[in-house]
Amino acid sequence: MSVAESLVRWRYRFLPDHVVGEILSKKWIDSVIPFLALVILCAIFGSIVPGFFDLTTLTNLSGQVAELGLVVLGLTIVMVSGGIDLSIGSTFALAVLATLYGMNVGQWSFGVGLAATLAVGAACGAINAFMVGILRMRAFLTTLVTLIIFRSAFEIIFPRVSTALVTNYPDSAVYDYLGLGRIAGFPASFVFFVVIALVLHIILSRGRYGWRLFAVGGARRSAYNAGINVRMTVFSAYVVCSVLVALAAFLFCARIGSAASDVGSGLELQALTATVLGGISLGGGRGSVAKALMGVIFVLVLSNSLLTLAVPGPVNDLTLGFVLLASVFLDVRWTKNRHKILRSVYISPTFAKMPKAISTEPGSPMAVNDRLKDVGVIGLGILDGAEDVIFDRQDRLYTGSRQGEILRFYPPDYTRREVFAHIGGSPLGMAFDRDDNLVICVAGMGLYQVSPQGETKLLTAETNRSLTSVVDDSTMKLADDCDILPDGRIVFSEATIRFEMHDWYADALESRGNGRIIVYDPKTGGTKTLLPNLVFPNGVCTAFDGQSVLFAESWACRINRYYFSGPKAGTLERVIEGLPGYPDNINRASDGTYWLALMGMRTPALDLSLEMPGFRRRMARRVSEDAWLMPNLNTGCVLRFNEKGEILESFWDQTGEKHPMITSMREHKGILYLCGIFNNRMGTLKLPDRDQSWFSSESYWGKSA
Amino acid sequence: MAGDKKATPAILGRGPGKPIKINQEWVVIAISVILFVVFSLGLDKFLSEGNIIALLKNVSILGTLAVGMGFVVVGRGIDLTMVAVMVVGVAFSIWISSWGIDFTLAALIGAGLAALLGLFTGIMIAFAEIPPIFATLAIASSIYGSGRIVFASDVLYAPNNVQWLKWIGSGTVFGLPASVIIFGVVAAAMGIFLRKTRFGRLVYATGDNPSAARNMGLPTRPLIVTQYVISALIAFTAGLIMTGLVTGINTRLYNSSLIYDVLLVVVLGGIGLSGGQGGVRNVIVGTILVGILTNGMTILNFSYTSQNLIKSIILLIALAIDAIINPRDEQTSQSGDI
């Protein structure tokens, strides 16, 4: 191995650049920039503003956070639903008027005052909600106009009551406590706000209502088609927003106790800056309570600090305006280009040196032949996505379809068929357990079980989360093939944790160990990842000794064996290395050997490119997917090997017409059945010199009782 | 076939010899006439020559601004910076003329500043892709804020020895005030520009369906930038008219509801906010209605706040009718198009 090659190998082993793409695909990545901006802002002002970290400053700040925070949370709800509410400043003013009038002049009790304030808020909100939600008017303009209307109403009423407001004082202990009280050093209003924020967080992230809001904001038409009442959802968002604004006004009154004629003006720009800064998208569908809070703190720290530094008001406004413009710009660009960036960095090929392939020269067991040229056919034109095939004790044939169904064909000629069970995902590898339940790996969904009566049950869709993985590897992206140990444990392979099934080829391009072998124990119901970092683990087969499992690693072109019990328990050994093609499913043969399907053949160009990760990365970025280097999927092959890893014989279809790609095969009573996930048929090959009564369930579980 | 059926009434409505279709334009004209008659009969000062001249002068500023706004709205944009550009642009001209620069030159420099502001807005909308309503709202407050930092006082008085400014204020042509003539010239130029030039047709195409226009290969981005530059220049022209009429400019005008009056004119006149329709005729119709309305309410001694309230409610109703007549096209409206 040359020095240069070693350098490349070490570079890809110790600089895991696939992590960049995985971090970018995280949801929290949206919040990173605002968070960093907030930290930098605090660092700058913390060093130049006197008394920035003083207790009084922070207490004062937390009181303001409660008020602006409620307004911003309201705006967040509206923005998540895909709208905007600019009238919040005027709604705030009207709510302040209601509170002050009720508490000061009317001498109402706390409860009545609060209810009246919230009612005023809800009424203002309902006007906006009706226009935007029901009449489907443009949110921005509509609320801009209601801003003027509510403000005019305030300006007409306020001068008539302003004298009465300042000459009377409220008579409510709870009200005073809310404004001036302290709970564990924090202002009471702040504690009150934290409780509300927590409740909203749970509703938005976990509740049905929150999910509906996100659905409506993210994709309005899809939400409508999914049966969500879009108009009422939007309606409710505006009402909730205005109620929260009214609540903020109530807190404001409790703290300040009076109001000027310009109360709440400019609040909408402040709140809007906070939401957009926090990373809540204009246009809806993205946002959270935490983001809103980040934006609130940013805006308050900025404006308070500028105030402390005695910056004139207009400059302060101007700064806020530019910050708003810049953050909207970043938000628009980020939303538009995020998936493009992600696409270009997510695929990160690594170094892989392929071993020399086993010879296919004439005379060798792997010699190319045409033994699959004249095979029988089942389900021509009916099958679509039959990855695996299996037989029950009544000789009935089971296979999957791309539409998410398990099909059952009846002997003797396998023309009569029925849908045995509907799974909903693409079924891949299958196995029968001791009680004749069918165990199935379903792509993107996990491990399922179908009883002989056709009842479907989820066995597992979650395994332990590994500590070092950036992507959430507790879910199953591509469960591929399974088999069952004599003690009932189910061993199955998950081909990759980084890609969905339809992107399987991207994983081939990476050729990193993205897959794993997982064990599910039906006795405890527990699922555990057994062997991580395997290169596209595919076929799984319990060996005849009952102590070990054979499994294929497709892109590495090798077969491994893992021992569960016996003297070698816990060890992994290589069985075959350097296959000329990419191994898929492995199944038992009647004479104590194993069948192996090769889904495609290696090509010299692709083999060479595996040693050049940089080349493959450039290819993935610059060339469209259909022009990438691909394995040769036009030549299928089935071979038989023994426990020692010696290849005994092989079956080829050189023409590539009937079985270009073979993903699985199963020997059943003297006939070999051949499947390919992209083929429109299933092939049958008579094996006259083999045991004409052998079938797999009996080999596993003995004769039925 | 469904499409054909749908298209038929519109074609028939425009055909010769058919009854005139009741559309927004005619409704607005009818309301204007009714209001005019009611005010003429009910208010004895309304029909006086002085009042009509005052009405026309007021209308000329509003109308000029509305021509610029209408132009942008046709291209599916909106320009809320107009009043800010108007007050800051003219105030800037007056401010630099106080250094001793000839006012005519100062006005040209002010126009240059207005054009630059429009250019900035246009770039923010066309290239940075910030939603127009959002960009213009934020930029408007930034422009006004910068203005307040630079100019010491809110009210700036123009030098009183500029002949053409005096003419704008008090000159007449065939008995019509010069300000109205300027409004007429701006409106006529815009009308010809929109209807007869290639550029104008492209504005309609862009407003009708921006993505289709872009896919077709139209230079939509330069087109949008140009629109905002032109609207800024029109706003500056309106500012000059105002300076001529009241011999100065009050920058606090930005805080008034003038920009919403402009919007009211455009929406009432029948230029749909979804773009691609309407023209200068709609602006004139809307201007007349809003002018009569404002004038009548002033004579009736409505307070400034109640006038705002009434006009806003009318605008809201107009927006609602607009939303019902021109429902938003979910196919072409983009995410973030709020």
Number of domains in chain A: 2
B residues 241-300 closer than 8 Å to A (CB): 257, 260, 263, 273
Could you tell me which chain B residue has the CA closest to the CA of A144? Answer: B260
Distance from CA of A217 to the nearest CA of B (A): 9
Q: Write out the two tokens for A390.
A: 């299996």
Instruction: Indicate if A416 and A279 belong to the same structural domain.
Output: no
Q: Does B328 touch chain A (CB under 8 A)?
A: yes
Contact B319 A153 (CB under 8 A): no
Q: Give B145's contacts in chain A (Cβ within 8 Å).
A: 314-315, 317-318, 321
- Preceding peptide of A412 cis, ω within 30°: yes
Number of domains in chain B: 1
Q: Does B332 touch chain A (CB under 8 A)?
A: no
Mutation to test the B interface, candidates A137, A224, A267, A268, most B Cβ within 10 Å: A137
Instruction: Indicate if A337 and A380 belong to the same structural domain.
Output: no
Mutation to test the B interface, candidates A328, A334, A339, most B Cβ within 10 Å: A328
Domain boundary (A327, A343, A359) is at: A343
What order do you get walking across the sheet with A526-534 strand by strand? Answer: A479-484, A490-494, A515-521, A526-534
Which of A137, A325, A329 is the closest to B323 by Cβ? A137
Q: Give A127's contacts in chain B (Cβ within 8 Å).
A: none
Instruction: Indicate if A398 and A271 belong to the same structural domain.
Output: no
Distance from CA of A271 to the nearest CA of B (A): 13
Q: What is the pLDDT of residues A34-62, one digit of tens each?
A: 888 888 888 888 888 887 778 888 888 88
In a domain, A19, yes or no: yes
Q: Give A325's contacts in chain B (Cβ within 8 Å).
A: 124, 130, 135, 138-139, 142
Q: What is the pLDDT of residues A381-432, one digit of tens each?
A: 889 889 999 999 999 999 999 889 999 999 988 999 999 999 988 999 999 9
Q: Which of B65, B78, B28, B10 is nearest to B237 (CA)?
A: B65
Q: Write out the two tokens for B270.
A: 């029948």
In a domain, A361, yes or no: no
Which of A83, A269, A318 is the closest to B146 by Cβ? A318
- The parent domain of residue A419 ranges over 376-463+472-701
Instruction: Indicate if A336 and A405 belong to the same structural domain.
Output: no
CATH number at residue A521: 2.120.10.30
User: How far apart (Å, rounded) are the C-alpha atoms in residues A190 and A179?
Assistant: 10
In a domain, B275, yes or no: yes
Which of B260, B273, B320 is the closest to A148 by Cβ? B260
Distance from CA of A268 to the nearest CA of B (A): 12
In a domain, A359, yes or no: no
Distance from CA of B14 to the nearest CA of A (A): 28
Q: Write out the two tokens for A336.
A: 């538009």
Instruction: Indicate if A169 and A310 belong to the same structural domain.
Output: yes
Instruction: Indicate if A392 and A272 belong to the same structural domain.
Output: no
Instruction: Indicate if A319 and A381 belong to the same structural domain.
Output: no
Instruction: Indicate if A335 and A399 belong to the same structural domain.
Output: no
Other Cβ atoms within 10 Å of B9 Cβ, number = 10
Contact A149 B309 (CB under 8 A): yes
User: How far apart (Å, rounded) are the C-alpha atoms in residues A215 and A207?
Assistant: 12
In a domain, A509, yes or no: yes
Could you tell me which chain B residue has the CA closest to the CA of A83? Answer: B338
Phi, psi of B282 (to 5 degrees): -60, -40
Which of B78, B142, B323 is the closest to A135 by Cβ? B323
Radius of gyration for the alpha carbons in chain A, expressed in angstroms and rounded: 33
Instruction: Indicate if A306 and A439 belong to the same structural domain.
Output: no
Alpha helices in A207-284 (DSSP H): 208-218, 220-225, 230-256, 267-278
In a domain, A100, yes or no: yes
- What DSSP designation does A462 have? B
Residue A276's pLDDT is 86
Contact A314 B129 (CB under 8 A): no
Contact A146 B316 (CB under 8 A): yes
Q: Give A283's contacts in chain B (Cβ within 8 Å).
A: 334-338
In a domain, A368, yes or no: no
Which of B135, B145, B305 is the closest to A152 by Cβ? B305
CATH number at residue A167: 1.10.3470
In a domain, B307, yes or no: yes
User: How far apart (Å, rounded) are the C-alpha atoms in residues A148 and A555?
Assistant: 66
Instruction: Indicate if A448 and A581 belong to the same structural domain.
Output: yes
B residues 87-146 closer than 8 Å to A (CB): 124, 128-131, 133-135, 138-139, 141-142, 145-146
pTM of the full structure: 0.76
Residue A451's pLDDT is 94
Domain boundary (A343, A367, A387) is at: A343
Segments in chain A below pLDDT 70: 1, 704-705
CATH number at residue B130: 1.10.3470
In a domain, A354, yes or no: no
Q: Does B321 touch chain A (CB under 8 A)?
A: no
User: How far apart (Å, rounded) are the C-alpha atoms in residues B138 and A257?
Assistant: 32
Q: Does B337 touch chain A (CB under 8 A)?
A: yes
Read off the amino acid at residue A295: G
Tokens 């939509």, residue located: B220
Phi, psi of A452 (to 5 degrees): -60, -20
Which of B316, B324, B338 is the closest to A84 by Cβ? B338
Residue B329's pLDDT is 61
Distance from CA of B139 to the nearest CA of A (A): 7
Domain boundary (A319, A343, A367) is at: A343
Handedness of CA A141, A143, A145, A151 (dihedral sign): negative
In a domain, B329, yes or no: no
Q: Write out the two tokens for A339.
A: 């998936």
In a domain, A688, yes or no: yes
Q: Does B315 touch chain A (CB under 8 A)?
A: yes
Which of B145, B260, B324 is the closest to A314 by Cβ? B145
Contact A141 B312 (CB under 8 A): no
Q: Write out the two tokens for B114.
A: 């207005």
Question: Would you tell me the crossing angle of helices A208-218 and A230-256 to the nearest 10 degrees?
Answer: 110
Contact A136 B328 (CB under 8 A): yes
Q: Which of A309, A277, A327 is nearest to A47 (CA)?
A: A309
Residue A489's pLDDT is 94
User: How far apart (Å, rounded) are the C-alpha atoms in residues A398 and A411?
Assistant: 11
What order do you get walking across the sheet with A558-563 strand by strand? Answer: A537-542, A548-553, A558-563, A572-576
- The parent domain of residue B272 ranges over 24-323
Q: Give A284's contacts in chain B (Cβ within 8 Å).
A: 335
Residue B22's pLDDT is 57
Residue B5's pLDDT is 39
Could you tell me which chain B residue has the CA closest to the CA of A283? Answer: B336
Could you tell me which chain A residue has the CA closest to the CA of B123? Answer: A329
Instruction: Indicate if A235 and A380 belong to the same structural domain.
Output: no
Q: Per-residue confidence of chain B (338 residues) as pLDDT tens digits?
A: 333 333 334 433 344 444 445 567 787 888 888 888 888 888 877 878 788 888 888 889 999 999 999 999 999 898 989 999 999 999 999 998 888 888 889 999 999 999 999 999 999 999 888 888 888 888 888 888 888 888 878 888 888 778 888 888 777 788 788 888 999 999 999 999 999 999 999 999 998 888 889 999 999 999 999 999 999 999 999 999 999 888 888 888 887 778 888 988 888 888 877 788 888 999 999 999 888 888 888 888 888 888 888 888 888 888 888 778 777 665 545 444 55
Q: Give B314's contacts in chain A (Cβ within 8 Å).
A: none
